[in-house]
Structure 1
Amino acid sequence: MLGLRPTVAEQVGRVDGPRTARDAARAVEAELGRLLDDALGRARDTDPVFARDVAGRVAALVLRGGKRLRTAFAWCGWRAAGGTGDATAVLRMGAALELVQACALIHDDVMDGSPLRRGAPAVHVDLARMHEAAGMTGPSEAFAVSGAVLAGDLALAWADDLMTETALGSPHGLRLHREWQAMRTEMVAGQYRDIHAQATGASGVEEALSIATLKSALYTVERPLALGASLAGGEGAVPDALRSAGRCAGLAFQLRDDLLGAFGDPAVTGKPADDDLRTRKLTCLLAVGSRLARASGDREAAEALAPGGPASDDTVRRMRAALERTGARAVVESRIAELAAASVRHFEGTGAPPPVRREFAALVERAAGTAPRRTGEAA
């Protein structure tokens, strides 16, 4: 068993509920510890090899870090819609969101061929190493990819189980279920649009924005806010204001992730800094760079940023230079600031108490990267 002890934040959550979004983010760590203890116990009862190789890796990824932004945003939505007192259901919902995030990360790393996640080998890489160290037969890559797909599926199953229990225990369970149902479909749609764009060589800004919205913005901010509001029974103008706030903050978050994917420090992000460029993934940053290059007649930049096969080290350096020279990096930075400010304005329309509005503003700064990141903070 993981055997995590209750933290101060957890004890606060039991009595009065987390007092801040940061409290909620800390308190969900203890909630995750308890829930994963139970899940690993059930996995061992099912099959010890499966528990060790698959369930154990899912639990390790979930507990290895992350900003817990989705939990914090769910808490903000709950408070904005009038939620008070015992926040146990909010924390359990936050834990379910963290498990969905684990599913997305595991599958995304497989599809992108990313070797690192949260400062450690990605699940498929770790499984390949296990295969080779154990002297198993057959190709290690096929085994690792299959195992990672199953690990992501398990994370999603655990998330669904937890969210179902939360919805059944809530008087607003049907609304919770509908939000959750929509979020899962959006995630899959966004991931498919991502690989579809790569296969078709898409380069348009509008398509990049559609992918960013479906794949990240909705399930990172907008849906967690809406789930929190649903748990509190929020009605009227509040849910609409939260959706608008969440859409803006979520896009700002994804645009920041685009920048980190091209210019980030792996020691801080816990993942490679050039994966998006090396695979020429369609991001808003790359799409803006391509458009600016064509508009200015910068043929060298347009060639470097054009869709195509995997980029070499030299081409990655040229792509970074092109993104700087065309002004794409500055344009995206400016857009992030605009979206973050708009998100805060929309949230004020909920009529949430001033302390909650301040919490939300600080959270948006953190998600959008307009506030300093803490050392070692990763997605």
Structure 2
Amino acid sequence: MKPYREDVPSLSAQYPFGVVLTLPEKAIILIPARSSQSSYQDARILDESSIRRILWTFRADFTVVNGIRRLLVDETSFASHPNLLTGHQVVEAAIAATVAGHIFAVVAEPRPEQRAHDAINYLRLAARFFSADPAVQEAGFFAFLYRELPRLCCDAYAQMSSATDQIVQLNDQGYEFLFDVGAERVVAAFGITRYNPGSRDSARMAGFLGQAGSTDLQRIILQAGSAQGARNRLEKAQLTWRDRFFQAYGHHYDRGHFISHRQGGGLDINLFPQLADINQGRTRLGAEYRAMEKACVAKHGVDPVFCCSRPIYNDDSWVPVALEYAVIYSAQRIEFRTFPNRPSGGRRNGGGADDKAGDAA
């Protein structure tokens, strides 16, 4: 799978002195290696010919050349007095600094993906339930949700990037999961919530995207097509899960749960990379997400609650751009909201679905 690339606004927010080079099909941002939060191994341009071809395109761009001058002053020794250099000399110095690793040339998305994805219309679903035949109403709204949600979630998922039709439904810890076998990612997780008094299995969670064991490393060597390929794979496999994410998906992620541990959610299929600000409740939206999770924890003497957690994707990775979360008390009371799941450089939405909420009360 191709690596996830952060968009230009996100990277510009992290590196305010970075220099953005906008090309027809992509964007490059030059950032100071000394202050970089990642090696950007999978998203950097490393070969000299490519760097030269790109930078020479901008040799007459006054704004770009002045931005590069600032980078040369602050970060490298390739130009002792860059303010005295011509535009051509600045570009040559930048090429040398980039090849030497003093400046990173990071490939970024030219703009965040703005495609809106349809939310599950829970209010319309409730209206359909009330107009259904008496036998359906007698079975209850939650039974109606178990019957209707798989189709609705699959229909909504089919509009997303890289979705396949190889979707299976399985039960894990009492919750229903829809899983795209072709794209290897969760489509939705839902069910009547419960209370889990047990402690987290920290050892197993640590293995989620953890370092590879000796057996895994040996298998990687045997499966590699070349010695160089084996070295590249081993280098990545030996990274910690967080370092691996820094290289492939950007920053600020936790091991999130589609269905929280306290609600009785499990591990494995239930784990996904979740934006830490949301998962830990550090922002206004994060606090709302945590409150909705807590509302789903079953309580003694209180009617059960139905929960649906639905990731929204806008590329071919398994990292959602957003998470639609619904807490359903009854057909008359439904709360739902979409939470961002990508670093946004100050924007509210994670490059995709709108931040929205509803209540049928």
Give the TM-score, by structure 2 length: 0.30
Which of these two proteins has the greater Rg computed from alpha carbons? Answer: 2
- Structure in which a larger fraction of residues adopt helix: 1
Give the TM-score, by structure 1 length: 0.28
